[in-house]
Amino acid sequence: MSKFIAVPAMLIGAITLATCTNAAAPGAADSNQTPALGSPVSESRLADFDLIIAADGTGLPAGSGTADLGETIYRSRCQACHGENAEGRGSAAALAGGSMQSEGPPLRTVGSYWPYATTVFDFIRRAMPADAPKSLSDEEVYQVTAYVLFLNGLVSRNQVLDRDSLPAIVMPNRGGFIDQSRIQ
């Protein structure tokens, strides 16, 4: 690797900086010269590291699952916190029900509020179950995602979810958000 000798950087941070600033662009009169120490990696080596699922489904792994299979996982891995009918308990949010058009304050859940079904897979895979995050296989994440969507009436019990069918689900509140990012 074209790195500088591994001297504890804590000790020599400033020195390294002084001697290496030309590594990136020799002679460039740029005040932002950096030592260019990043190691090149290929996207294929990042397959397990990169957890991001785009809203169009890019990044969804191989595998598939149905709500029928997901129910078993829900009962053993999720129910203790989220409740028997996914009604929620304290900070373990309700995972089903609610309506944005309800008379009182709306109960906002995956079914009533979330704009994209891909986010359900993405979030469960990265963060749930909260007591053992990342302990489910991709196959199991597809299954329990299907079960959560089934509880919200968005898929049938035996509908197969995979990298093609999951992003195709149209969530009820898909059009309910106003993007503020351009008016900052």
Partner 1 sequence: MTHRESLHKAAGNGLIHRRHLLGLGLGGLGVAAAGQVLGADQAMAFELPAWSRRPGPGPSRYGQRSPHTDHIGRLAGDPNPLYPGGGASRSPLHLLQGTITPNSLHFERHHAGVPAIDPAGHRLVINGMVRQPLAFSYEDLLAYPMVSRIHFLECSGNSGTLLGASPVDGTAQSIHGLVSGAEWTGIRLADLLAEAGVLEGASWVSAVGADGASMGRSIPLTKILDDVLVALYQNGEPLRPEQGYPMRLFVPGWEGNTSVKWLTHLKLGTAPSQFRDETSKYTDTLPDRSSLQFTFPMGCKSVITSPSGQMALVRRGLYQVTGIAWSGAGTIRRVEVSADGGASWADALLESHQSEKALTRFRIPWDWQGQDAILLSRAIDDRGNVQPDRNTILAERGNLSTYHYHGMQSWAVGTDGNVRNVYV
29 touches partner 1 by CB under 8 A: no
Distances in Å between the alpha carbon of 31 and those of 11, 20, 38, 122?
A: 24, 13, 19, 40
49 touches partner 1 by CB under 8 A: yes
Q: Which residues of 122-151 are buried (b: 16+ CB within 10 A; e: fewer)?
A: bebbeebbeeeeeebebebbbbbbbbbbbb
User: Which tokens is 104 given?
Assistant: 């009182």
Here's the x/- map for ligand HEC, 39-78, by CB under 6 A: it reads as ----------------------------------x---xx
Q: Write out the binding residues for ligand HEC, residues 112-131 only, by CB under 6 A.
A: 120, 123-124, 128-131
122's contact among partner 1, ligand HEC, none, with CB below 5 to 8 A by partner kind, is partner 1
38 touches partner 1 by CB under 8 A: yes
User: What is the sign, positive or negative, of the torsion defined by CA atoms of 106, 112, 118, 124?
Assistant: positive
Q: What angle do CA 86, 92, 96 make, to 5 degrees?
A: 30
Here's the x/- map for partner 1, 84-123, by CB under 8 A: it reads as -----xxxxx------xx---xx-x-x--xxxx-xx--xx
Binding site for ligand HEC (CB under 6 A): 73, 77-78, 80-82, 91-93, 95, 109-110, 120, 123-124, 128-131, 144, 148
